Amino acid sequence: MRVGFIGLGSQGGPMARRIVESGYEMTLWARRPESLEPYADTAAKTAQTPAELAAASDLVCLCVVADGDVRQVVTGENGVLAGLQPGGIIAIHSTVHPDTVRELAEQAREAGVAVVDAPVSGGGMGAAAGTLLVMVGGDTEIVEKIRPVFETYANPVVHLGDIGAGQVAKLLNNLLFTANLATSVTTLQLGESLGVDPAKLGEVITHGSANSFALGRVVAGGGTLDSIAKHAGPLLRKDVGHVAGLADAAGATPGVVLTAADATLALMEHPR
């Protein structure tokens, strides 16, 4: 299988390297030529446009940032759909709204192309170690066909259902992470009010039954959300907003988890 990869950032870059170093014929494209320089020591080829990349690929993986970026790369002038042949597959690793991948899947189907949504969790270190979590939505036969590519950088690869299911799972994961940030910060603040040093309390809880990834990030950030807000605040706000909209459309009640996530976003805007 020939693989194209677009989105060579801190997470996508290690993913692409794992694929090409596993022996797959690979083509890369990036808006900025300097993004391609780290792959000069690999067998990867480069393309001038997403369409040129797609013409040389059976599977195109996208790891760009936002819904608009995904749409532009797939359907824009000289986009992936302009070059991918019938029978080709697009895997969207970006975290976007489920409706975005469903709409793109409809457009791609008219060209004989399949789309799966496959958002990831675990960061660049997870990709480099081959331990990313991939949450997949799409046709079972297509998912199984491309699973070996995903397994070059991921373990586990979880197929959740039809197109869009991977995005829903990723958004819910990010909702709970956001909620846990608020409970972690306020717990450390409460401990300080009760005379327990926040750093020491953080050390205790990270070795106890209440430990969480969110708490670890708060402790690493000195007990505040300042660092997380700077690097991930807008993305978390986007994801929480998507979940709130999905829940409202479905008539579902997200309950305390959305309340806690909103508290985190408030803390990021108005830190203690």
Active site residues per annotation = 170
Burial of 75 from C-beta contacts in 10 A (0-12 / 13-18 / 19+): middle
Q: Which of 244, 103, 94, 106 is nearest to 170 (CA)?
A: 94
- End-to-end CA separation in angstroms for the chain: 52
Asked whether 102 and 73 are in contact (CB, 8 A), the reply is no
Token representation of residue 67: 């819904």
Token representation of residue 254: 């997200």
Place of tokens 């009010």: 193
How far is residue 248's CA from residue 46's CA, in Å, rounded to a whole number?
Answer: 43
